[in-house]
Amino acid sequence: MPRPKEYQQEHVLDRATECFWQHGYTATSMKHLEQATGLTPGSLYNSFGSKDGLFLACLDHYNDTVIGERVRHYLKPAIREYQEAPLQGIENFIATAFEPGPAELCLGCLMVNTSVELGPHEETVRQRTTEAMRKVLQGIQYSLNGAQAKGQLSSTVDYRQRAQSLSLMFNGMLVQWRGATDKRWLKNAMTSVRELLMSN
């Protein structure tokens, strides 16, 4: 009976997420978001309640699409390729740090960026960034565990410890990737990852 919405929630979230991803929470204004989504203030506030509400929806959206997608693809894979070579899955997952974001920009990871920008102060935000980090760490653990079961990784290594090392390095790479203009160190970084992945 009511008038139907003229836009698609998913498309709006895509566009808004791009804004926050590129400029961060504080530097993204409602005007930016209106222009990027093509919606008017009324529609945005009607759908999301506030800038914070929209931001949280974007974090959830990013968590589902980008992070969840990558974890499922590379770390807890349904496809045989990575099931049989879990270490390769981890390596390729970590290499996604260098995948260009929207508009071919080097944006890093929205969760890492947000965690750095806002710190742990906003509980609603912290929950989501923490959840994302946990998901990644757990995915890496899962694959390392699989590698040990397949004899592709020495069973003497503490796979939890190793997963944390890799996760820390991954976050470091995301930071570097967003901030640096000179990207030549990239290859060396992946060599570091491979070394850490196989050692012992």
List interacting residues with a second copy (CB under 8 A). Answer: 24, 26-27, 106-108, 112-113, 115-117, 119-120, 126, 129-130, 133, 160-161, 164-165, 167-173, 175-176, 178-182, 185, 188-189, 191-192, 195-196, 199-200
Q: Given the complex with a second copy, which of 24 and 53 has the nearer CB atom?
A: 24
Burial class (CB in 10 A: 0-12, 13-18, 19+), 10: exposed
Interaction partner, residue 98 (DNA, a second copy, none; CB < 5-8 Å by kind): none
Burial class (CB in 10 A: 0-12, 13-18, 19+), 11: exposed
30 binds DNA (CB under 7 A): yes
Q: Which of 136, 162, 134 is nearest to 147 (CA)?
A: 162
Cα-atom radius of gyration of the chain, to the nearest Å? 19
Interaction partner, residue 191 (DNA, a second copy, none; CB < 5-8 Å by kind): a second copy
SS (H, E, C) 100-165: CCHHHCCCCCHHHHHHHHHCCCCHHHHHHHHHHHHHHHHHHHHHHHHHHHCCCCCCCCCHHHHHHH
Q: Given the complex with DNA, which of 47 and 145 has the nearer CB atom?
A: 47
195 binds DNA (CB under 7 A): no
Among 10, 35, 41, 149, binds DNA (CB under 7 A): 41
Q: By CB under 7 A, what part of segment 73-92 binds DNA?
A: none
Contact residues for DNA, defined by CB under 7 A: 1-7, 28-32, 39-43, 45-47, 50-52
